[in-house]
Amino acid sequence: MLSVMKIGYVAALILSVAVFNSCSDGFINKSQQDFTAYYSVPRMNTAYGSYLAGRVAHLRQDFNTAADYYIQSINLGADKPEIVTQTYLLLTMEGRLNQAAKYAKTALDNGDDGNFIRFVIMSDDIQNNNFDDALNVLQPIDDEVYKKFILPLFRAWIYAGNNNQSQALKQLEILKQEEGLLSLYYMHNGMINDYFGNTAEAKKAFDTVVDNQNLQLSYRSLQIISNFYLRNGQKQQAEDLIKTYYDKSQQSVTLQDLYTQVKNADPDAVKKLIDTPQKGTAEAVFNIATAFIPYQTDISQMFNAIALYLNPKNEIALISMAGLLESNQQFDEAVQKYRQVDKHSSVYFIAQLKIAAIYLAQKQNENALKQLKKMQKEFPDNYQVLFNLGEVSRMMNNQSDAVDFYNQAIKVMPKAIKNDWTIYYALGMAYERNGQWPEAEKALQKALKISNRHPFVLNYLGYTWLEQNQNFNEALFMIFEAYNANPEDGHIMDSLGWALYRMGKYEDAVKILERASEYLPGNALLCDHLGDAYWQVGRKAEAKFQWQHALTLKEDAETLNKKLIAEKIHNGVTPPPVINFNEPLLVERLKTLDLGQ
């Protein structure tokens, strides 16, 4: 919803609320000796021990445990303001806002008067229907950026909670002064009017967002507006709204599910999404959290946690929180959040897919495969699931399964991605590694054509032709062309070095392969190639080292002939026959490329 907001405006806002590493940071970095001075000797050990345990958990990003230990240290007498500040921030991060508010109030009394601390207290006041208190806690904030963006949103919903419709709508008028906030203005104007039962006014605001192409619609906006249309006798308009976006992006299962839900909905049974001031405030907080994502993920995560505290059923905020945890490499916590998405939600599919992606990122291939097979049962004939099953199977060296999954995916491929070369490229690799070269060659040539000669496809097909001892002239040119397009790719460098080796240009091969090893230090096949090249130029000790090293590495290890490498370690390697290529023709063709020569 904030995609059109001015960059400078967001930057100013971020600078004014970047509190997570402000007053608390000095305390985190204090030495152990400094810390002991805060306590009298009789109570130092217990309070200090709890703090240290919390600090270790904090550094490990186990924020729940860290917060518990910090609370324990406070209860044991560690009442230094910096500890209290850290405690309320971590509790906020973990969504424990009722506890966070307690320590935030203590921190406020201790002199921590940052703006964010007031939002934590405000959120708990709103959750408990203490709207006057919520207004009062915001009163001291006097920053100009807050007055134009954050405070109007919060105050609008606080006044709504106090049943003061005119003041609620008046607060929103401030947002109209900034062009980049117009989408936000109309969305919240529509939600507040809808909350008060002003259907005509709400419709006018929502229609403005839909009809004005300069105003951006987020997925959450689509949910809220289509929900309004369904409840107010405009089911066809709700369907048309979602279908417009789905038709532009047919591979989006999320939009497809939302469209299906809208199409099959019984308008009489549809309930209002934003039916309390808590949920309305949650939307405002989530808007702010979204604005911070590109700039400061810690702040975004805390605002997201507040949004979920005020409305735990905001599935988009839940997905966003999981994504933030994932980006911070808190993978277990991210999986936990993704698993909380309801099975009937329109974002359930993407949540399940993200779980598989996290397992892959952690190299838990078995778990990823299990997750995707579970999804295959829930979403049969889904292209993305089948393609990902092929990818995981290929990574696990189950090439036959990979071939089957890729071919199934191609059969159900949506029209919008019929020209996606990546699946034919992956299929070609799986066929080749499964010993089905004719099928591999056909798939790779199709990928080459569709991709407009992508360097990855050029490299793979060219290298494989060399290994198959066929099409030497075309294979060499393709590898050089791939290198010309992407000279910093280690795999392409390896292919180029090996091509030079097969051409009998051993010194040149060594130079390229050594450079490639800087990019791919853990690649077994590259070490084998470099060993062969070293041997041919007389660097025999280095050659044996590379061959021995190749046997210890995992990357591309499945492509090695380990028995042959063992023989080379004992006996070396004889010069291979120089491949039969048309050098004048190759030189002439290479003139069409810019190889820096």
User: Tokens standing for 312?
Assistant: 């735990």
More confident residue, 112 or 466: 466
pLDDT of residue 26: 32
CA distance linking residue 202 with residue 166, whole number of Å: 14
pLDDT of residue 594: 63
pLDDT of residue 277: 97
Per-residue pLDDT reduced to its tens digit, 484-511: 999 999 999 999 999 999 999 999 999 9
Domain that holds residue 101: 7-203
Contacts of 113 (CB under 8 A, 6+ apart): 140
pLDDT of residue 92: 93
In a domain, 235, yes or no: no
pLDDT of residue 385: 95
pLDDT of residue 38: 37
- CA–chain centroid gap for 478, Å, is 34
Same domain, 426 and 468: no
pLDDT of residue 1: 34
pLDDT at 155 over 90: yes
Same domain, 135 and 95: yes
pLDDT of residue 2: 31
Helix, strand or coil for residue 523? strand
Helix, strand or coil for residue 418? coil
Average pLDDT over residues 106-122: 90
Confidence class of residue 595 from pLDDT cuts 50, 70 and 90? low
In a domain, 113, yes or no: yes
pLDDT at 250 over 50: no
In a domain, 447, yes or no: no
Apex 487 CA angle, 485 and 490, nearest 5: 125
Per-residue pLDDT reduced to its tens digit, 539-548: 999 999 999 9
Same domain, 402 and 514: no
* Strands of 146-222, DSSP E: none
pLDDT at 9 over 70: no
Average pLDDT over residues 577-586: 84
- Measure Cα distances from 152 to 155, 166, 535, 588 in Å: 5, 13, 73, 69
pLDDT of residue 297: 82
DSSP line for 436-499:
-HHHHHHHHHHHHHHTTS-HHHHHHHHHHHHHTT--HHHHHHHHHHHHHH-TT-HHHHHHHHHH
For the chain, percent of residues with pLDDT exceeding 70 = 90
Cβ contact 403:431 at 8 Å: yes
Same domain, 335 and 481: no
pLDDT of residue 522: 93
pLDDT at 596 over 60: no
Contacts 24+ apart (CB under 8 A), 463-467: 463/495, 463/498, 463/499, 464/432, 464/440, 466/498, 466/499, 466/502, 466/579
pLDDT of residue 8: 40
**Which of 203, 238, 265 is the last residue before a domain boundary?**
203
Per-residue pLDDT reduced to its tens digit, 184-210: 999 999 999 999 999 999 999 999 999
pLDDT at 23 over 90: no
Q: How many domains does the chain have?
A: 3
User: Tokens standing for 203?
Assistant: 């419709």
Cβ contact 356:350 at 8 Å: no
Same domain, 552 and 412: no
CA distance linking residue 180 with residue 2, whole number of Å: 7
Q: Residue 555: name the closest of 504, 521, 589, 592 by CA.
A: 521
pLDDT at 317 over 60: yes
pLDDT at 516 over 90: yes
- The per-residue b/e assignment along 327-352, b for 16 or more CB within 10 angstroms, e otherwise, is eeebbebbbebbebbeeebbbbbbbb
Same domain, 426 and 496: no
In a domain, 380, yes or no: yes
Average pLDDT over residues 125-149: 92
Cβ contact 457:425 at 8 Å: yes
In a domain, 150, yes or no: yes
- CB atoms under 10 Å from CB of 373, counted, come to 13
Per-residue pLDDT reduced to its tens digit, 372-385: 999 999 999 999 99
**Which of 182, 203, 224 is the last residue before a domain boundary?**
203
Average pLDDT over residues 327-346: 92
Per-residue pLDDT reduced to its tens digit, 474-484: 999 999 999 99
Both ends of the chain: CA-CA distance in Å?
Answer: 50
pLDDT of residue 146: 84
Same domain, 404 and 510: no
Same domain, 173 and 140: yes
Helix, strand or coil for residue 555? strand
Per-residue pLDDT reduced to its tens digit, 85-108: 999 999 999 999 999 999 999 999
In a domain, 242, yes or no: no
18: domain CATH number is 1.25.40.10
pLDDT at 457 over 80: yes
pTM of the model: 0.80
- The per-residue b/e assignment along 530-545, b for 16 or more CB within 10 angstroms, e otherwise, is bbbbbbbeebeebbbb
pLDDT of residue 48: 79
Confidence class of residue 512 from pLDDT cuts 50, 70 and 90? very high
pLDDT at 524 over 50: yes
> Among 76-90, 323-337, 430-444, 481-495, which is the least confidently predicted range?
76-90
pLDDT of residue 67: 87
More confident residue, 508 or 244: 508
pLDDT at 142 over 90: no
- Mean pLDDT, the chain, integer: 87
**Which of 172, 203, 234 is the last residue before a domain boundary?**
203
pLDDT at 438 over 70: yes
Same domain, 24 and 62: yes
Same domain, 430 and 458: no
Per-residue pLDDT reduced to its tens digit, 270-291: 999 999 999 999 999 999 998 8
In a domain, 243, yes or no: no
pLDDT at 25 over 70: no
In a domain, 280, yes or no: no
Same domain, 515 and 554: yes
pLDDT of residue 470: 92
Contacts of 203 (CB under 8 A, 6+ apart): 190, 228, 232
Same domain, 426 and 457: no
Confidence class of residue 588 from pLDDT cuts 50, 70 and 90? confident
